[in-house]
Structure 1
Amino acid sequence: MDPELEAFIPLLPKVDMTDVAGTRRNFDELAATRPAPDTSGLEIEDRTVPAEPGVPVRIYRPQRARGAVVWLHGGGFVFGGLDAEHPWATRIASDSGAVVISVGYRRAPEHRFPAALDDAYAVLTWAAEHAHELGIDPDRIAVGGHSAGANLAAAMTLRARDEQGPPVRFQLLNEPILDDRHETWSARNFTATPWNNRAIRIAVMDYYLGSRPATPYAAPARATDLSGLPPAYIATAEFDPNRDEAIEYAQRLLQAGTSVELHQWPGTFHGSLAILSAEVSQRQIAALCSVLRRALAE
């Protein structure tokens, strides 16, 4: 493991999947301790996207933006939110030059699949329909997210294709959880890795699905047809149970004719890019922003 990251492992908060409320508080408290991000040069606005129910979003507008990304936070469908995602959304908007529409989707277990996906897709549809108001090109809208948010982003591209919905320019999937079956080598063997391990991913998928069988919209790795999807950037962490299914998904997208940039970050673990002092984290974040900037500028 990267020595800069390894030094922080004893300081990481414990993830107790049996205490959702307590772990949410821990996540929120940790997020509150981070330094306030530099928001200069950004116009930031909280809105509610009309849907049933309404979906809270936080919009970050850089100057002279042409494209946008509908951004979905991580947290295993259970944790996270607009405030916790604020530093990341700010950084992405500032460094990529894209309008970032950060989505406060409904969380499990109170709201199981497909609630989060319905919220995310409603925001994508709204963004396309209100592109002029947002000051963006409707043909330059990407989707992206971390972990569970990356699952939602991948599912949105499948749904948009199947329903002839809004055109998605690009999909940015960072450390995605894509499969409910937990059968890959990394999903079976990473039982004690930091922040995410086999037991945690099983628990979050159980919270998300409940008793419902998984469909490709809940677990995109189950999709048998990956043709006609937008280009992708997929990033994986070496010590992450999500690693192998993301690599396999990238390979299947390539075989279906989709252009993919796949980046496996050595020495990292799930969510370790939050350790901003580490050099590898800085490179990870810079890569996310750079690839998004290129995708929306082309």
Structure 2
Amino acid sequence: MPLHPEIAADLARAAARGEPPLKDLSAEAGRARAEAEPRAAGAPVKAVETIAIPVGSGAIKARVYRPFGEGDILPGIVYIHGGGWVLCSLDTHDNVCRNLCASVGAVVVSVDYRMAPEHRFPVASDDCLAAVRWVAAHAGDLSIDPAKLIVGGDSAGGNLTAVTALRIRDEGGPTLAGQMLIYPVTDDIAAGHPSYSEFAEGFGLTADDMAWFWDHYVPDPADRTHPHASPLRAETLAGLPPALLLTAGCDVLRDEGEAYAGRLAAAGVTLDFRRYEGLHHGCAGDYGRLKAVAPFFDHIVTWARAIFRL
């Protein structure tokens, strides 16, 4: 199915700017461009606070979003932003986190994990695992119900979400109520999933972009098949928490995400999976700006509220 006309027109406007491809940019230049991209404003929330979470011998920032409404103790979402493990920030995904907070009625903790190339694999994974464990341990201080805690993310953040769920299963908790996987990276780029060829150019995220990301995050090809880089390569997915996995129909990452969904289902993991035809990679950030994205984002909200029994 082709791109939704609204999405196609939006991508055409972006292409008309004539910006150089990501592969021709340094990490610093790529970050500057990502930060400058226009985004829809997020929904109003009751409060936003920046905190520090200890990781290893240092600390990372996180941003805590609190919704309006009743209740002293609320469900929690630890959100891990995308950006190929190299780009994006708490600011680029502020709208996504605000919309989740307001629509789900949950406290959202957005994690500012350390990124490549300054911090290569597996630093981002270590940071995200530490952040989820810290949030679970400090749930009372954050007014979060520890029995209603999910981890979620988009793209590379979806990758880190899947890896965090695997590591929590294998490395001693805490218990998660669910995992939210939004068009996630799940496999080594060398695997040759067909969607890499079908959507290599002209759909936003390109195959060359993904090669650039992998080269920055996991430069040694021998490390790229490790399950903490490519969760599709995990020996088993049994015993993982309930999962939402959404793919965009016109996305280089579509097929590896759907392969992961297939393995989750085969392993007996409770799964809510859907491909949204006509949408492209990164569409969650366009909620509120492009009408075509509304069903996609509404699906995320409906799933989270069901997990939390709201």
Same fold (TM over 0.5): yes
What's 1:39 paired with? 44
Q: In structure 1, how many angstroms separate the alpha carbons of the residues matched to 2:228 and 2:113?
A: 16
Letter in 2 for 1:56: K
1:48 corresponds to 2:52: yes
What's 2:6 paired with? 4
What's 2:239 paired with? 228
Decide whether the 8 Å contact of 2:155 with 2:185 is kept in 1.
Answer: yes
Go from structure 1 to structure 2 and tell me whether the alpha carbon gap of 1:123 and 1:262 turns closer, same or farther (over 3 Å shift). Answer: same
TM-score, scaled relative to structure 2 = 0.90
Equivalent residue runs for 1:251-266 within 5 Å: 251-266=262-277
Letter in 2 for 1:221: L
What's 1:136 paired with? 144
Q: In structure 1, how many angstroms separate the alpha carbons of the residues matched to 2:237 and 2:55?
A: 28
Go from structure 1 to structure 2 and tell me whether the alpha carbon gap of 1:38 and 1:243 turns closer, same or farther (over 3 Å shift). Answer: closer
What's 2:219 paired with? 210
SS for the counterpart of 1:177 is coil
Q: In structure 1, how many angstroms separate the alpha carbons of the residues matched to 2:248 and 2:258?
A: 10
- Residue by residue, what CA displacement relative to the aligned partner does 1:243-263 show, whole Å, maximum 9, x if unpaired? 011111111111101011111
Decide whether the 8 Å contact of 1:182 with 1:202 is kept in 2.
Answer: no
1:23 corresponds to 2:25: no
Letter in 1 for 2:306: R
- Residue by residue, what CA displacement relative to the aligned partner does 1:203-254 show, whole Å, maximum 9, x if unpaired? 2112111225121011101112110001111010111111011111111111
How many pairs align? 295
Q: In structure 2, how many angstroms separate the alpha carbons of the residues matched to 1:179 and 1:164?
A: 24
Decide whether the 8 Å contact of 2:22 with 2:212 is kept in 1.
Answer: no
What's 1:190 paired with? 199
SS for the counterpart of 1:294 is helix
Q: In structure 2, how many angstroms separate the alpha carbons of the residues matched to 1:155 and 1:147?
A: 12
Equivalent residue runs for 1:96-175 within 5 Å: 96-175=104-183
Go from structure 1 to structure 2 and tell me whether the alpha carbon gap of 1:157 and 1:35 turns closer, same or farther (over 3 Å shift). Answer: closer
Q: In structure 1, how many angstroms separate the alpha carbons of the residues matched to 2:255 and 2:271?
A: 16
- Residue by residue, what CA displacement relative to the aligned partner does 1:77-96 show, whole Å, maximum 9, x if unpaired? 11100111111110100001
CA RMSD of aligned residues (A): 1.6
- Percent identity between matched residues is 34
TM-score, scaled relative to structure 1 = 0.94
Letter in 2 for 1:108: A
Q: More deviation in 58-67 or 89-98?
A: 58-67
- Residue by residue, what CA displacement relative to the aligned partner does 1:173-202 show, whole Å, maximum 9, x if unpaired? 001111113421112332213221222112
The answer for unaligned runs of 5 or more in structure 2 is none
- Residue by residue, what CA displacement relative to the aligned partner does 1:33-69 show, whole Å, maximum 9, x if unpaired? 44543424x2211000122320100001124352111
**C-alpha deviation, 1:134, in angstroms:** 1.1
Q: In structure 2, how many angstroms separate the alpha carbons of the residues matched to 1:8 and 1:182?
A: 30
Q: Which runs of 4+ in 1 moved over 6 A?
A: none
What's 1:61 paired with? 66
SS for the counterpart of 2:153 is strand
SS for the counterpart of 1:59 is strand
Q: In structure 1, how many angstroms separate the alpha carbons of the residues matched to 2:23 and 2:50?
A: 30
**C-alpha deviation, 1:136, in angstroms:** 1.5
Equivalent residue runs for 1:216-295 within 5 Å: 216-275=227-286, 276-295=288-307
